[in-house]
Structure 1
Amino acid sequence: MQIYLPIAEMSVDGLSIVGIGLAVGLLSGLFGIGGGFLMTPLLIFIGLPSAVAVATSANQTMGASISGLIAHWRRGNVDGKMGMVLTLAGLAGSALGVQVFALVRRVGQLDLVVAVFYVIVLGIVGALMAAESVRAWLRRRRKIPRRLHEHFWMHGLPVKMRFRKSRLYISVVPPVVIGFGIGFLSAIMGVGGGFILVPAMIYLLGMPTGVVIGTSLFQVVFVTAAVTVLQSVSTQSVDIILSLLLMVGAVAGAQFGAAMGSRLRGEETRGLLGLLVLAVAMGLGYTLVRTPDAPFVLEPLR
């Protein structure tokens, strides 16, 4: 079933797009992420322009995250106060990121910048998550007790705030910095940032894993909504037809993922996510070094 995408200016198989959305939605509910880090590369792999893939992935991520957030909210796994702090900082970061995205697109280096960002960010995050998951598994096998989190210099920063749902009393500065960075990456990479936010909330802020997933989705929903609006106004690259096809599968997949996630241990969840992130990074890294089928391609100016 071929469907024409007006913004991407190409036809795609509708059922395949829905299937991609279903798979990414499943990951959203399972890992507490928006799934944009996987969605954007998949759309680029099937031939969509990078600008459309990034902007539309942010929109689809919002839909998938709303479904996952509802499921986790019903289970009481959302720290609303922490989510608001992360969201406000993320909105500021996304506003800056959209401006940088538009600038890079004007100079004609968007494809390269998006790919390099993905390889570097996903490679580092995936490797750290996979390594930590292995260490946690070994500690559990040896029955070595593990502290919830280590105390770094950042825990001595001023402007402390109590987050009762997460059982924390920490400075508001680290959540603000994390939220701002996630917002910036969301605009540049078309991701919700959950694959970075989840480990940051666990290892830097010391939040319980069960609360982290729902709270991550809370922040992802509002930041990706802001990115979608800003991208629509600034670059006009959000393809609503493509987004609707992806959301059809993603919303259903998120509900199944949330149910499956409750059956996995924390280190198992983090290990699987780390391996998935690494796989995507290696796939994009290969596209940067392989010889292209068509070394020179002429495209009309937009």
Structure 2
Amino acid sequence: MRKLYKMMHMASVAHARWDYETSMNILKSRKRMLILLLVALPAILFSVAMAVEPSTLPDILGGKKAYSPAFYTPEIFLVSILIGLCAGLITGCIGAGGGFIITPALMSAGIKGILAVGTDLFHIFAKAIMGTTVHKKLGNVSVGLAIAFLAGSIAGVVGGGFINHYLYNLNPVLSDTFISLVYVVLLGFLGIYAMLDFLKLKKAGGGDAHGSGGDSSKGLPARLQASKIPPLLTFDEDLVPGGKKIPALYVAICGAIVGFVAAIMGVGGGFLTFPMFVYILGVSSFTTVGTDILQIIFTAGFAAISQYAVYGFIFYTLAMGMLLGSLLGIQVGALTTKLVKGIYIRGFYATAILAGFTNRLFALPGKLADMKLISLDPGTGAMLATVGNWVFFVVVAIFGVWVVGTFVTKIGQLREG
């Protein structure tokens, strides 16, 4: 179990590394920033228009076929910016993916789970398209691995999207319950182990915020590469004489898992690709980086467009708000890491994950009662959900205030550095 946690933590770190690089590519380019502002302008204008005349919203909004939050207000747009800001702060400061808080946070703001997933995927896709400098990494990509992986990820995306659509059409409450349950299991597992690691490091007197990988040259990777199921793919030719070989089937299976999880949860495929390539398939980090960048673009893009956008389950105003907030948050968070000890960053990482876990856990009783699976007073269910929302947003807000406060009060040290 602990080895699984380390793999998942490495996945989070790898995705955060990609997120940071992508965001910096956008922030350092005036052309890209101008394009972003022009794209975000309609979202800002729409938010202002709703403040002036909210009655202009069509009646379909909020129904079973809803294309936006049940009750759209300018406040929700501002909340999306704050959610993106906090996710960016976590990514930049902790060095581990902050995207895990986005879907739970959007659902806590009153947005349907399937819409939160679709919007988060589109936000990842938009960031990847705008900020990823692919040509710098293409020399690292194994074409065979990329094709096999993408074939699997497309199949996985279709499967994950089908499940979300089916559950939503069957019962919107069932859809929210399913997505909440997935996050409860994932965040509960990650949060508990992250907190145990933090306490262990604190007792030992220190440690860094990121962790490290392990030796991938033995064990499972060696057994998979020894298999001779055709067709065989050759990779890492520049690092090993004659290269390594592995059946395309195993690469496609990994791709299917990544695509399935991405479509279900609304997370970037990079969250799982890096540890799967390194620890399961035995691919070098050098080759993994380029392939990971390509798969994020195609997996998130295919999932966002084919499984959510065409069905109306993306709210672009929220996506633009999250993108604007995350760009600022990542910049501030990354600079703040130079001012605080890694042990404190690791502690906030564990606390933020547990806050997301608590949020979705406390939302479950009310949803199960709505589905008549348990007997619970509606007032009690609403109270539990409210408590979960407060715990989540208060913890994230404290983290955000601490990071921003540290950045502002010690900005002189940064200038000296």
Aligned positions of 1:224-239 closer than 5 A: 224-232=300-308, 235-239=311-315
More deviation, 125-134/47-56: 125-134
Q: 1:20 to 1:146 in 2, by over 3 A?
A: closer
Taking structure 1 as the reference length, what is the TM-score of the superposition? Answer: 0.72
Matched, 1:169 2:244: yes
Are 1:18 and 1:249, in contact at CA under 8 Å, matched by a contact in 2?
Answer: yes
Q: CA deviation at 1:257?
A: 6.9
- Per-residue CA shift, 1:174-216, capped at 9, x if unaligned? 3321211111122221111333333323322334557656643
Are 2:118 and 2:309, in contact at CA under 8 Å, matched by a contact in 1?
Answer: no
Distance in 2 separating the partners of 1:127 and 1:155: 34
Aligned positions of 1:101-140 closer than 5 A: 101-108=164-171, 109-124=174-189
Corresponding letter in the other structure for 1:281: F
| Greater gyration radius | 2
| Map of 2:83 onto structure 1 | 20
Q: CA deviation at 1:252?
A: 5.0
Q: CA deviation at 1:281?
A: 3.1
Are 2:184 and 2:361, in contact at CA under 8 Å, matched by a contact in 1?
Answer: yes
Looking at secondary structure, tell me which structure has more helix per residue: 2
| Map of 1:299 onto structure 2 | none
Q: Percent identity?
A: 22
Distance in 1 separating the partners of 2:346 and 2:300: 23
Q: CA deviation at 1:31?
A: 4.9
Q: Match for 1:188 among 259, 264, 270?
A: 264
| Map of 1:100 onto structure 2 | 163
Are 1:64 and 1:250, in contact at CA under 8 Å, matched by a contact in 2?
Answer: no
Q: 1:214 to 1:162 in 2, by over 3 A?
A: closer
Q: RCO (CA 8 Å, sep 6+): is it higher in 1 or 2?
A: 1
Are 2:119 and 2:316, in contact at CA under 8 Å, matched by a contact in 1?
Answer: yes
Distance in 1 separating the partners of 2:334 and 2:118: 25
Matched, 1:91 2:188: no
- Match of 2:234, SS state, is strand
More deviation, 148-157/98-107: 148-157
Are 1:89 and 1:176, in contact at CA under 8 Å, matched by a contact in 2?
Answer: yes
Q: 1:190 to 1:249 in 2, by over 3 A?
A: same
Distance in 2 separating the partners of 1:200 and 1:252: 30
- Match of 2:163, SS state, is helix
- Per-residue CA shift, 1:244-293, capped at 9, x if unaligned? 222223345556778999xxxxxx99998777555533432233257422
| Map of 2:14 onto structure 1 | none
Taking structure 2 as the reference length, what is the TM-score of the superposition? Answer: 0.55
Matched, 1:80 2:146: no
- Match of 1:161, SS state, is strand
The count of corresponding residues between Structure 1 and Structure 2 is 287
Corresponding letter in the other structure for 1:242: L
Are 1:59 and 1:225, in contact at CA under 8 Å, matched by a contact in 2?
Answer: yes
- Supply the RMSD in Å over aligned alpha carbons: 4.5
Q: Match for 1:58 among 121, 124, 127?
A: 121
Q: 1:179 to 1:48 in 2, by over 3 A?
A: same
Distance in 2 separating the partners of 1:214 and 1:150: 23
